[in-house]
Amino acid sequence: MQELARVSTEEFRAKEKFPIAVVLDNIRSLNNIGSIFRSSDAFAVSQLALCGITATPPSVEIHKTALGAENSVSWTYFPTTLEAIAALRAEGYTICAVEQCQGSISLERFRPEVGRKYAIIMGHEVYGVDQAAVDAADLCIEIPQFGTKHSLNVAVTTGILLWHLAAAHLNT
């Protein structure tokens, strides 16, 4: 770890994080959950909210893709996504549903404000972000796509959004 300049799990947990939270709205795949934990570690996410049917650690299947990030990333379970939204809003987060919907902002036009806290809601692999969560969000963001499919894997989408949010802090 030293030659790669990586910090230990304890050092990571103690260090300052980006003001970014990730909300998993009923994610069914343990591999996707693990992958999102790993991306959340890579982009120093402040917290991860696991909601509804989203599985929680400890889990051998989550660990297979998280590779230990389930121990470094701060996470909380909420019975519903609306409860997670209320808790994050109370902490001052701007709530962003990542979903294709009327009035959504295309990712290349979304300019995160440095210092502002953002929570991104990632939806179910088939059904997307629950409509009640979309309605409760402050804004919707979507990734433009140019192929025959109209969606990306939820873990891939999370990584793209996290890079976009974290990159805003790199130029300050």
Parent domain of 123: 2-170
Give the model's confidence band at 58: pLDDT under 50 very low, under 70 low, under 90 confident, else very high: very high
Over residues 76-101, the pLDDT tens digits come to 999 999 999 999 999 999 999 999 99
pLDDT at position 3 = 62
Q: What is the pTM of this model?
A: 0.95
Q: What DSSP string runs through 17-31?
A: -EEEEEEEES---HH
34-52 residues labelled b (16+ CB within 10 A) or e (exposed): bbbbbbbbebbbbbbbbbb
Number of structural domains (the chain) is 1
Q: CATH number of the domain that 145 lies in?
A: 3.40.1280.10
